[in-house]
Structure 1
């Protein structure tokens, strides 16, 4: 029994039906961690991409080093550092918050490169024309660069969203009660792993298909000439 829900061991079908509500609770945690982590990755990735484009080397170079460090170190190592090392220095974070932060920070390095590719794809002549018109840098990005870059980077960002969904089982290592963690607990208590793990695999497939479909639809809906930002 988990979350006050009893499971039926009399038949495989009854067992699957009885544990489904438990796994759906884990699915809710998986979705929350993915959405929140992806929002962190989108915002932090944009900040890193813009900082890397700053003409001052004292800003651009350290930013590039941070991005490479985040890309080249495993998510599990970063997760363990946040959850197990920081408390030794007086910083204790809740498990789910730690998981969201680790996912967001790790994937911000990838999204920053996506942003950078999208920004670099904008015709240099438009930037020079905006500079000649004495537009501020903030207005340049808001009205010219970002509106044209967004439609170009949606597919790549969508790929990372799907990858993040599939990386959420790593959070079980820091006691986050997501789907895989709950399936493993059920298997440990009942000695039946096939059914809970199969259901979890199907739920992950469902989530990734939904995410991929939503990204593809968004990609078709956005005007390729640019998205007006206000």
Structure 2
């Protein structure tokens, strides 16, 4: 028996390649949820009513302290006992999205905290509503610098999608398991899965690294410009 069978490799590759689109769809859907929910959590932590702040902190810490696999099992297997039945794909993307939203919230919070206090005071002096203040003043300044950090979590989430195979979502790893169990050959399908993850995640990581360098240079340029303007004003 040959260690590597090219005929079998070409036979199983299309099956895993089709499952790759499920992986990508799950990643994009879960990350979109994480970004929206993370922003909501970050904003809620700044409300003046302290019980809401404490509740948000407690929920976030609990979610970050428990494994995402346990959360997947809870959403898919436990919630049906309370009348909430979800398909494997919806349950998986929901669990991953909620889990990563707590990390995205911290990224958003760092971006929001970096907005100079003068900008907050300016929005208040212009008599902006809370919505106008956030949409026109705070978020446009807070979000661009944190885009590279959010991108890092996107790649991490992509590499965590094999967890969805535990609740029968047929993504790349599950497709490889099914193919391997049918032929009793696991080397080729698992190697293909590993290579596809590498080919998709490594270039994305390089792109995010490049974007991070570009954003740092832009922020440095803005700081130097402010320093020059202050010097001229003095």
Structure 2 length normalisation: TM-score?
0.87
Give the counterpart of 1:121 among 114, 125, 128: 114
* Alpha-carbon contact 1:161-1:211 (below 8 Å) kept: no
Q: Is it true that 1:26 corresponds to 2:22 in the alignment? A: no
Report the alpha carbon displacement of residue 214 of structure 1 after superposing the two structures with TM: 4.6
In the alignment, the residues of structure 2 paired with residue 92 and residue 163 of structure 1 have an alpha-carbon distance, to the nearest angstrom, of 27
Task: Specify the alignment match of 2:33 in structure 1.
Answer: 40
1:39-73 CA distance string (max 9 Å, x none): 00000000010001111102111111111111111
More helix by share: 2
Task: Specify the alignment match of 1:3 in structure 2.
Answer: none
Give the counterpart of 1:54 among 24, 34, 47: 47
Larger deviation: 134-143 or 165-174? 134-143
Q: Which runs of 5+ in 1 are unaligned?
A: 1-8, 226-230
Q: Which runs of 5+ in 2 are unaligned?
A: 223-234
Considering only aligned residues, what root-mean-square deviation do their CA atoms show, in Å?
1.8
Task: Specify the alignment match of 1:177 in structure 2.
Answer: 170
Alignment coverage as a number of residue pairs: 216
Structure 1 length normalisation: TM-score?
0.88
In the alignment, the residues of structure 2 paired with residue 102 and residue 81 of structure 1 have an alpha-carbon distance, to the nearest angstrom, of 9
Larger deviation: 213-222 or 195-204? 213-222
Larger deviation: 97-106 or 131-140? 131-140
In the alignment, the residues of structure 2 paired with residue 135 and residue 190 of structure 1 have an alpha-carbon distance, to the nearest angstrom, of 65
Task: Specify the alignment match of 1:87 in structure 2.
Answer: 80
